[in-house]
A and B are shown apart, each in its own frame.
Chain A
Amino acid sequence: MVDPTPDPIDQSYRDAEILLTEQAERSARRARILAAVAQDKAVNPMERQTPAPGFASRYGWLVAASVMLVSGYLVLKFLPLQQLGSPPATQTAAVKPPQKNERTAALSPSAPVPDLSVSAPAAPTPSASDQAPIVARGRTTSSSKQAASAAVPPPATRVAPSSPMAAAPPPPPPPAAAPPPPPATVAEAAPPPVAARLAAPAAPAPVLRADAAKPMGMLGANPGFAELHAAAGAGRAAEVQELLDRHVPVDSADANGETALMKSVRADQPATAALLVRYGASLDKKNNAGFSARDLAAQVNDPALKRALGLQP
């Protein structure tokens, strides 16, 4: 089914939401939730790490039943033979219950009963799993509010210093001493972590000379375009700088006609907005709804942002 055409009321709602968005509130929420997730993982790591039901969990009962059947069969088969083969003098001993150790020793290769108990994973207790969100969530508790407010600038680092969320893994070192591989094998090199790759692409991209000559608004398929928009909206100035230095077109627009500068302005990110303006981003280019970055800045109404855009001394 073809989606209905965009309606002006849709954009009105979007703009209204932007106008009402409180960035400080959003940052605090981010810190709180990421800390809660990290804490939840620390309390209850097994639940997450357990993969989707695999062979062992699906057919574990079948394996256990088979082992028991085989064990029973072997017991029935070998026990009478042992009794029959024993000398008459020891018949009284054969009447006695057989030595348990001997039997289990004889049967152990074909009856790996102990393995069953070993292979069963220790499931986390429900109380442990339930505890995490209660401890972490607590929007109304003062302690969590303090934790959230204390964690605003680099959220996870302060709230959960011991969590793995706190320290961003460094990008993998490039293969330093390796001889220059042939072109065909370059792509086979170990890729960097996904987050690092998507958040801050480190690999130099080809210079987009041809794209730079294209008219604005027609560059949606450019490499680096999505990263530029994401970095601009998230206020990652260093990444924006890097992408612009790689000649990603500064005024490239998405399907809604939104440019990176508009993303910066909407998200109230003066640093990236100033950078984009310095690289020649247009303040007057309009999105599909007819709003320019200048219009959006007026809606956001942040003096710092206006100063960054040169709209206010």
Chain B
Amino acid sequence: MARDPAVDEDSELLRAYVDGDQDAFALLYDRHDQACFKFIRRLLGSAGADAEDLHQETWLAVSRHAASFNPRKAGFAAWLYTIARRKVWDHFRKQKITHLVSGQEDLMAEVPDSGPTPLEQAESRETALAIVKAVEALPLVQRETFLLFVECGLSLEKIAEITEVSAETSKSRLRYARTSLRRLLSEREAIDG
């Protein structure tokens, strides 16, 4: 399988940072900060106010443990999101937030793809807010799988590695997440008339 050059560049940048090239860290940050921040923020959901702190803690951890990063073991993105995910789950544990952790996968009904997306129908800030709120309302395990796949661009294998489940489970979670999103958004449309 051909390797993604971006993955190698990430590892190279981190190695350069360990060797004292400070700009390499800034460049690495620029490559991943958006996706990482959104991942943390949406994963936190209603506790999103803490996203800034957890994002910073994640990057401090990256900096501190840069020397122990082994590119042969995992790609940088997988390593980064493993750290970020751990920060969020630790945060939930500290805050005793447990009500969103359950799977609820089998409770979801399949909803067929229904043509144009809501954003295409009404490109507005309200619709955008509704979409991200719907993502935040997903069960946690579905949400993190959806975010890792869509926002962070990771493969199902990588997601499975990060979330410590099988690739099949990751695939199911992604499917349920999409189904749930469609359901939540169609419910909203029905309410709005």
Which A residues fall within an 8 A CB radius of B? 1, 3-4, 7-17, 19-21, 26, 29-30, 32-34, 36-38, 40-41, 44, 47-52, 132-133, 136-137, 139, 156, 163-165, 168-169, 193-196, 198-199, 226, 230, 234, 290, 298-299
Digit string of B149-193 for contact with A (CB within 8 Å is 1, else 0)? 111000111000000000110010011001001100100000000
- The answer to whether A47 and B24 touch across the interface, beta carbons within 8 angstroms, is no
A172 to B119, CA, bound (A): 48
- The answer to whether B171 and A17 touch across the interface, beta carbons within 8 angstroms, is no
The residue that A195 contacts in the complex, of B16, B52, B171, B178, with Cβ under 8 A, is: B16
- The answer to whether A17 and B23 touch across the interface, beta carbons within 8 angstroms, is no
Known contacts A4-B171, A137-B57, A139-B56; A195/B13 CB under 8 A: yes
CB distance from A162 to the nearest CB of B (A): 12
- Kindly identify, within residues 90 to 148 of chain B, every residue whose CB is under 8 Å from any CB belonging to chain A: 113, 116-120, 123, 125, 127-129, 131-132, 135, 146
Known contacts A11-B117, A29-B55, A34-B26; A19/B155 CB under 8 A: no
B-chain residues with CB within 8 Å of residue A11 when the two chains form the complex = 117, 119
CB distance from B77 to the nearest CB of A (A): 15
What are 22 A-to-B residue pairs whose CB atoms are below 8 Å? A9-B185, A12-B117, A14-B151, A16-B129, A16-B131, A20-B132, A26-B34, A26-B37, A29-B33, A29-B52, A30-B33, A34-B25, A36-B59, A48-B18, A137-B53, A169-B21, A169-B22, A194-B24, A195-B21, A196-B23, A198-B27, A226-B5
**Interface centre among B27, B63, B123, by most A CB within 10 Å?**
B63
- The answer to whether B129 and A37 touch across the interface, beta carbons within 8 angstroms, is no
**Interface centre among A8, A32, A164, by most B CB within 10 Å?**
A8
Q: List the A residue with the shortest CB-CB distance to B31.
A: A230
Chain A contact surface mostly? helix
CB distance from A200 to the nearest CB of B (A): 10
- Other 10 A-B pairs with CB < 8 A, given A12-B120, A195-B21: A12-B131, A13-B131, A15-B128, A20-B129, A21-B34, A34-B26, A133-B57, A133-B60, A196-B23, A198-B13
B-chain residues with CB within 8 Å of residue A48 when the two chains form the complex = 18, 63-64, 66-67
A199 to B30, CA, bound (A): 10
Q: List the A residue with the shortest CB-CB distance to B67.
A: A51
- The answer to whether B151 and A37 touch across the interface, beta carbons within 8 angstroms, is no
Known contacts A4-B174, A36-B56; A13/B135 CB under 8 A: yes
- The answer to whether B156 and A193 touch across the interface, beta carbons within 8 angstroms, is no
Known contacts A13-B131, A15-B128, A51-B67; A37/B60 CB under 8 A: yes
- The answer to whether A30 and B30 touch across the interface, beta carbons within 8 angstroms, is yes
- The answer to whether A7 and B178 touch across the interface, beta carbons within 8 angstroms, is yes
A168 to B21, CA, bound (A): 9
CB distance from A67 to the nearest CB of B (A): 28
A-chain residues with CB within 8 Å of residue B116 when the two chains form the complex = 8
